[in-house]
Amino acid sequence: MSACRHFFLEIYFYFLYGTLQRSFGANILIISITNQKGGVGKTTTAVNLSAALALMGKNTLLVDTDPQAHSTVSYIKNYENVKKSIYDVMINPDNNVEDIIMRSSVPGLDVAVSKISMAKLEQSLIGEIDGHYRLKDILMPVRKKYNFIIIDTPPALGLITLNCLVAATHILIPIQSSYLSLEGTDDLLETVDKVRKIANPQLKILGVLITLHDKRTNISRDVVNRITEVFGRSVFNTMISKSVKLEESPAYKESIFTYAPFSVGAIQYKELAMEVIKRAQN
């Protein structure tokens, strides 16, 4: 066979393989960013990790399941005009999930929006035997469009978080580098085990992310050592430092990559995305 034909055949198989992978959603990663502790950087991580993945050419869907809707507000400009949200699709699967997915300002990043009504989910699904499968079911028709689905979860281990862990292939646990940061992780790991037993045996821990780190303080250094003792190699090499730019960017409805592209936060979230992609391949 001529070198030229060989070359074109290789290109053909490369694209065919790529298309097949995409069409069956074979390698999709659905990552639930979860810790029932409040204010540990779940939303900041969901918003900026999803932007980083999209900017690296990965079609990404950010799913906001928190009634506080901070991920949604971080990207969607006329939030007041949003009528339907993930709540409406989860309580009534006849509603189309595509109707609550919006384009963000980041190329390649879509957002499934949340609203405060999500706080009623638990009450609305009482007595429904498939109550904890709802998120998994509604994501099924859109899985093939994305390489990554990133789920922002509320600070609780109730039915919403249960839905997220049932729908996910992986969990990413952000832990703030502060005093008492490990408190509650036993309950979280117990929940992960329960979910594996009853509904999602494939659920894996993608990694533990140290957030809000301040390397100047002794306490932060001690906490990093303790987290590493407990979680070992699960801890991402990348740590997210405390940074004013990361705190400011949601108010301007931007990810850190447009708000402050050369800041420490932008560099660290890009490094995290590269680690996530690497772990995804293993």
CB-wise, 66 or 254, nearer to ligand ATP? 66
CB-wise, 28 or 86, nearer to ligand ATP? 86
Cα 30 vs. chain centroid, distance in angstroms?
A: 7
184 sits near ligand ATP (criterion: CB under 6 A): no
Applying the rule CB under 6 A, the residues between 198 and 227 that interact with ligand ATP are: 211-212
Exposed (0-12), middle (13-18) or buried (19+): which is 155, by Cβ within 10 Å?
A: middle
Rounding to the nearest 10 degrees, give the CA dihedral for residues 6, 11, 15, 17. Answer: 40
CB-wise, 28 or 209, nearer to ligand ATP? 209
CB-wise, 34 or 60, nearer to ligand ATP? 34
Q: Which does 98 bind (CB under 5 to 8 A by kind): ligand ATP, Mg ion, none?
A: none
Which window, 35-43, 94-102, 117-125, 274-282, contacts ligand ATP (CB under 6 A)?
35-43
Closest distance of CB 202 from Mg ion, Å: 25
Closest distance of CB 135 from ligand ATP, Å: 17
Per-residue binder mask for Mg ion (CB under 5 A), 67-106, x = binder: ---x------------------------------------
CA distances from 67 to 71, 122, 193, 228 (A): 10, 12, 25, 32
CB-wise, 38 or 57, nearer to ligand ATP? 38
243 sits near ligand ATP (criterion: CB under 6 A): yes
φ, ψ of residue 21 in degrees (nearest 5): -60, -45
42 sits near Mg ion (criterion: CB under 5 A): yes
64 sits near ligand ATP (criterion: CB under 6 A): no
Q: Which does 67 bind (CB under 5 to 8 A by kind): ligand ATP, Mg ion, none?
A: none
Burial 216-253 (b: 16+ CB within 10 A, else e): eeeebeebbeebeeebeeebbebbbbbbeebeebbeeb
Closest distance of CB 98 from ligand ATP, Å: 26
CB-wise, 70 or 213, nearer to Mg ion? 70
* Helices (H), ranges, the chain: 3-23, 42-55, 70-75, 86-91, 121-124, 134-139, 159-167, 185-198, 218-231, 244-248, 256-259, 264-281
In whole angstroms, give the CA distance from residue 119 to residue 223. Answer: 33
Q: 3-state DSSP helix/strand/coil percent for the chain, to nearest 5?
A: 55, 15, 35
Q: Return all residues near 124 (Cβ < 8 A) that are at least 6 apart.
A: 87, 91
Closest distance of CB 152 from ligand ATP, Å: 7
37 sits near Mg ion (criterion: CB under 5 A): no
In whole angstroms, give the CA distance from residue 159 to residue 253. Answer: 29
- Nearest Cα to 166, choosing from 30, 270, 40, 64? 30
Applying CB under 6 A, the site for ligand ATP has a residue count of 18
Among 49, 242, 263, 270, binds ligand ATP (CB under 6 A): 242
**Which chain residues interact with Mg ion by CB under 5 A?**
42-43, 70
**Which chain residues interact with ligand ATP by CB under 6 A?**
38-44, 66, 68, 70, 155, 211-212, 240, 242-243, 246-247
